[in-house]
Homo-oligomer: A and B are copies of this chain.
Amino acid sequence: MSELTKPLTSDKGGGLPRVVIVGAGFGGLHAAKALRKLPVDVTVIDRRNHFTFQPLLYQVALAVLSPADIAQPIRGILRRQTNTEVLMDEVVGIDVQARRVGLASGMQFAYDYLVIATGATHSYFGKNQWAPFAPGLKSIEDAIEIRRRVLLAFELAERQMLEHGWHPPLNFVVIGGGPTGVELAGAISDIAKLYMRHDFRHIDPTKARVLLLDNGPRLLAAYPPDLSAKAERELFDLGVEVHTGSNVTNVGPGWVEANNQRIEGAVILWAAGVQASPLGKMLGAPVDKRGCVLVDNNLNPPGLPEVFVLGDLAHFEQDGHQIPGVAQPAMQMGDYVGKAIAADLAQQPRPAFRYFDKGDMATVGRMAAVADVKWPFKAHLSGFPAWVTWMVVHIFFLIGYRNRLAVISQWIWNYFMFTRSARLITGDQRLPGWQDQIDAGPSPQEEDRTAAVR
């Protein structure tokens, strides 16, 4: 690998084992923290400067929370951990023989242990040309872009109503009925029906339609069937139109084709599939069809005991099932890395990793959720009790007291005041009409209008 021919630049001396952690998500950060008291030198490499609390990302996308409420500078999280340094850079090559990683900056890092926890990104199942028309939700930038599109859709409808006395249907189409799709659909319904009620003079935002398309027979396929049914019922009560068995065959600007029907969408969001980060493949180890690295019960790829693969990037099977790509297993895997390395240092055999599943949950709008609780007791919760459980759990896992306080106070405020002050359009402020004119040249229709006006 030609990127890796450069001499090492980062040898700090000292001779302690060097642990390089790539990716500061739930898995990477938990691994770093689990190593804080061990005699090792830790380097955390991430291409962003902040950790993102992904389970609440949809609330940034729908203007409930601000980016800073759910993101935290990685340096801030690890500032007091003296055996750990943070580097903002991107890994572009791994040489497992020489035990080095190559970075986008040109630097190289030798490792004694390598922890890869770079997660997953959206998958359009080979149709990447759909991406500009139906953005997905994985980063703060994605959330800001979705917020921009959703808020601009209302602005555009108001303008069109004023101009023509008519506007195209204000449809919000969410593709994919997993937890993210369900949460997005519920939250869009909330914003339209509750929070925007008094804001417009020409349109009625409560008449916006929210369509949730899933190609399976039921929503939340990973949950028990009774909870899927409850989530559908709760979405129905919110006015969300759930279309299971919808096979999306094409997506274009402002439309989706599903089951040979064309659905117009003022905003289309993608929550249908994920694929592993490309770092899995750089290892040269076996991967599954989504690019996740097959790992043994020490979280190692075959033959690479010094490499750990965690979180969404790992394909780990337990009791015949692949464990899901959510925060809980990633955190437990991170913690496990600390135990495994401690065992090595003590020259003891490593324990085997075992995922302890406390359950799953997803919110459905402002006051409802479904929860498949497995610990400390077993229960299927729905509605308000599930929603309260969801809130408590998510506040608990947020990093930093300030964020917890900020999110709690923001939720209470939104809940009682029906206003959302995070409702900012930043970035490109142009309404879609102008954007077409400027970016893509006038469409035939636009040209007519322009000609008539100028």
Contacts and interface: CB of A to CB of B under 8 A. Distances in A.
A431 interface: yes
A291 to B, nearest CB: 22
A155 interface: yes
A10 interface: yes
Interface stretch (A16-24, A223-231, A275-283, A415-423): A415-423
Given A76-B199, A105-B434, A424 B49 contact: yes
B421 A413 contact: no
A454 B141 CA distance: 31
Interface residues of A, number: 73
B453 A3 contact: yes
Contacts of A400: 421
Interface string A29-68: 0000000000000000001111000000000000000111
Given A155-B88, A431-B89, A106 B6 contact: no
A85 interface: yes
Interface stretch (A124-132, A158-166, A302-310): A158-166
A387 B151 CA distance: 37
Contacts of A48: 425, 429
Question: How many of these chains are in the complex?
Answer: 2
Of A164, A406, A449, most B-chain CB atoms within 10 Å: A406
Of A69, A424, A449, most B-chain CB atoms within 10 Å: A424
A433 interface: yes
A369 interface: no
Given A49-B151, A105-B433, A403 B425 contact: no
Nearest to A67: B424
A236 B49 CA distance: 31
Interface string A188-206: 0000000000111110000
A427 interface: yes
B454 A106 contact: yes
A453 B9 CA distance: 11
Given A155-B88, A425-B50, A453 B198 contact: no
B424 A71 contact: yes
A3 B421 contact: no
Contacts of A429: 47-49, 88
A188 to B, nearest CB: 17
A67 B420 CA distance: 13
A79 interface: yes
A155 B88 CA distance: 7
Nearest to A433: B105
Interface string A61-87: 000001111011101100110000111
A439 to B, nearest CB: 14
Nearest to A148: B49
Nearest to A83: B201
Nearest to A422: B68
B431 A106 contact: no
Contacts of A144: 426
A425 B139 CA distance: 12
A10 B162 contact: yes
A452 interface: yes
B68 A159 contact: no
Interface in A341-370: none
A373 interface: no
A444 to B, nearest CB: 15
Contact of A454 (B3, B199, B403, B413): B3
A47 B34 CA distance: 49
B79 A199 contact: yes
9 contacts: A9-B164, A48-B429, A50-B425, A76-B199, A106-B163, A107-B159, A400-B421, A403-B421, A406-B409
Interface of A: 2-3, 5-6, 9-10, 47-50, 66-69, 71-73, 75-76, 79-80, 85-89, 102, 104-107, 140-141, 144, 151, 155, 158-159, 162-164, 198-202, 400, 402-403, 405-406, 409, 413, 417, 419-427, 429-431, 433-434, 449-450, 452-454
Which 10 A/B pairs are nearest by Cβ-Cβ distance?
A106-B453, A75-B199, A85-B201, A68-B422, A66-B68, A79-B198, A88-B155, A49-B425, A73-B423, A66-B66
